[in-house]
């Protein structure tokens, strides 16, 4: 390609939490999501002797990310397709000068936390720096979106946008998409509870589509409620009205249950969080497994809810939005 390369580069992609309207966002209804203080870091360097078998032609991958049991194994074929799409989008042919990509960081791979988007963003950034392409964040986001197709088929674009830009984002899918960063008065503590169940987001999205086509009137009413709810949620977040935010999170979870993307494990974790003082709680991400998010303003409440989730036999991540 004639591209100038350097010896080693790194790139970062943030994990995410969807506070409102996963799945509904696929159909043009606004969603609210935020970056969390965990990230995936990709490192790119020349592949020297002993790199082993390539993951894709010319690219050797070492995936050292912490992960839910079975997550990386279940996603291996999707990951390979994702890497191929990223290289194709960036017009990079590593067969001419093989490279080694290392994935690490403190974001644990699990469903519902933006792990795939974080890895796509981190890899795109590290490759951009390695080949000195000089890409903007907007271009990195487009590449990460392309990589997400390997995992999700028809992704909404929300996860990669949050992973690339960070912060709290109002997002509407479309051409062009609407992406409005907005502020909350101060960061808010949350707890994410991991069911330990690896979910197939592609199957979850396809299931919603099939059920919506089979019963358009019922699903139409649910989708209208989701659109009204998210407008109220943004105002409540900007006003720092924790009580209102919590109630809206609870209602959003009920809507997600109605479109059949929750699961017994998710519902159990939501109940545990609420019973231990969470202001509101809901599933987050693709559903059918993965994570919940609980609103727990203040370190004391955050710790109480996190411990209750752990005592119930699940993993809890203490983090914050905003």
State how far the Cα of 237 lies from the Cα of 30, in Å rounded to an integer. 15
Helices (H), ranges, 166-200: none
Determine which one of 64, 159, 200, 215 is catalytic. Answer: 159
Whether residue 45 contacts residue 169, with contact meaning beta carbons closer than 8 Å, is answered with: no
Whether residue 303 contacts residue 277, with contact meaning beta carbons closer than 8 Å, is answered with: no
Beta bridge partners of 60: 100
Q: Which positions ≥6 away from 217 have C-beta within 8 Å?
A: none
44 secondary structure, DSSP code = E
Catalytic annotation on 64?
A: no
Q: Which positions ≥6 away from 300 have C-beta within 8 Å?
A: none
Whether residue 184 contacts residue 295, with contact meaning beta carbons closer than 8 Å, is answered with: no
Helices (H), ranges, 198-292: 201-214, 216-238, 242-258, 264-275
Angle made by CA atoms 48, 52, 53, in degrees to the nearest 5: 125
> What is the distance, to the nearest Å, from the Cα of residue 77 to the centroid of all Cα atoms in its chain?
19
Residues labelled catalytic: 159
């Amino acid at each position: 390609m004639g591209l100038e390369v350097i010896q080693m580069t790194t790139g970062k992609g943030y994990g995410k939490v969807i506070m409102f309207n996963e799945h509904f966002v696929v159909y043009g209804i606004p969603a609210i999501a935020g970056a969390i203080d965990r990230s995936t870091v990709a490192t790119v360097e020349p592949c020297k002797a002993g790199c082993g078998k390539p993951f894709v032609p010319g690219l050797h991958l070492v995936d050292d990310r912490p992960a839910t049991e079975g997550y990386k194994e279940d996603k291996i074929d999707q990951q390979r397709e994702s890497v191929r799409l990223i290289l194709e989008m960036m017009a990079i042919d590593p067969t001419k000068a093989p490279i080694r990509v290392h994935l690490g960081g403190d974001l644990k791979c699990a469903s519902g936390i933006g792990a795939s988007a974080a890895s796509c963003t981190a890899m795109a950034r590290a490759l951009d720096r390695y080949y000195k392409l000089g890409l903007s964040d907007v271009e990195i986001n487009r590449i990460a979106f392309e990589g997400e197709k390997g995992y999700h088929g028809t992704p909404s674009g929300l996860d990669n946008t949050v992973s690339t830009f960070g912060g709290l984002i109002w997002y509407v899918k479309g051409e062009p998409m609407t992406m409005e960063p907005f502020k909350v008065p101060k960061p808010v503590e949350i707890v994410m509870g991991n069911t330990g169940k690896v979910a197939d987001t592609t199957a979850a999205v396809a299931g919603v589509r099939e059920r919506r086509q089979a019963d358009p009137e019922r699903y139409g009413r649910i989708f209208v409620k989701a659109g009204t709810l998210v407008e109220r949620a943004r105002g409540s977040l900007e006003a720092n009205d924790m009580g209102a935010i919590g109630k809206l999170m609870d209602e959003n979870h009920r809507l997600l249950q109605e479109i059949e993307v929750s699961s017994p494990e998710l519902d159990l974790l939501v109940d545990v969080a609420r019973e231990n003082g969470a202001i509101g709680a809901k599933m987050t991400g693709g559903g059918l497994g993965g994570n919940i998010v609980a609103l727990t303003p203040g370190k004391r409440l955050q710790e109480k809810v996190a411990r209750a989730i752990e005592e119930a036999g699940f993993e809890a991540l203490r983090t914050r939005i905003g």
